[in-house]
Amino acid sequence: MIDLHCHVLPGIDDGPETIEGSLSLARAASAGGTRTLVATPHVNLRYPNDAATIARLVGELNERLAAERIAIEVRPGAEIALTSAINMAPARLAELGLAQAAGLEPHSWEDQFWLGVARAAAGVDPRAAVARAIALDPLEPGLRNAARRLASSSRCSRPPS
C-alpha cells in the first residue's frame, strides 16, 4: 500500500515535532500494511518549506527507518497551497514536484483552466494558462466563452509568474 498524502516529516509543519514522532507514525503505517509514504508537508504562507529541506528530511528519516528496521520507504512530495502556487516561479514548482501546474507538462484542460481561475482571483494575468486549456481541448463547449469572460473581468495587476 502507498500513502500518497501524509505529514510525517519532523518539525516543518503541523506534523510530528520530532523524528521520534515520525518513527511512531511510520511504525503504525507499516503495521497497517503501508510500504511507501509520500511525505507531503505543507508549502504555504505559514510553512514556506522548500524542496531542499524536504529532500534532506526525507533522507534523514529513511536512514532512521532503516536503522530501526521499519520496512517503509518515504518519498518526497509537497502539499502546496494554491495561494502559494500561483505566485511561484515554474522552476520552483517543478522542484517541488508540481511540474504540471508549472505548465511544463500540461495534463488536462481542466487543470490549466482552474490554474487560470486561481490566477485571475489573485489578480495575476490568467491568459497564458487559459490559452493552454484551449490548446489542450479546443472543442470543449463553453471554454472559449468562459476564457473570454475570465480574461476581460480580471483586473490583472501582476504578470504571470
Enumerate binding residues for Zn ion (CB under 5 A). Answer: 79
* Choice between 17 and 63, CB closer to Zn ion: 17
* Choice between 53 and 161, CB closer to Zn ion: 53
Rounded Cα distance between 93 and 18, Å, is 27
* Choice between 6 and 133, CB closer to Zn ion: 6
Residue 105 Cβ vs Zn ion, minimum distance, rounded to whole Å: 23
Q: State the cell numbers at 100.
A: 504540471
Residue 7 Cβ vs Zn ion, minimum distance, rounded to whole Å: 6
Handedness of CA 153, 155, 160, 161 (dihedral sign): negative
Residue 42 Cβ vs Zn ion, minimum distance, rounded to whole Å: 7
- What DSSP state is assigned to residue 155? -
| Chain centre distance of CA 113 | 17
* Choice between 14 and 63, CB closer to Zn ion: 14
Residue 40 Cβ vs Zn ion, minimum distance, rounded to whole Å: 6
By beta-carbon distance, which residue lies closest to Zn ion? 79
- Are 5 and 37 in contact by the 8 Å Cβ rule? The answer is no
Rounded Cα distance between 75 and 97, Å, is 11
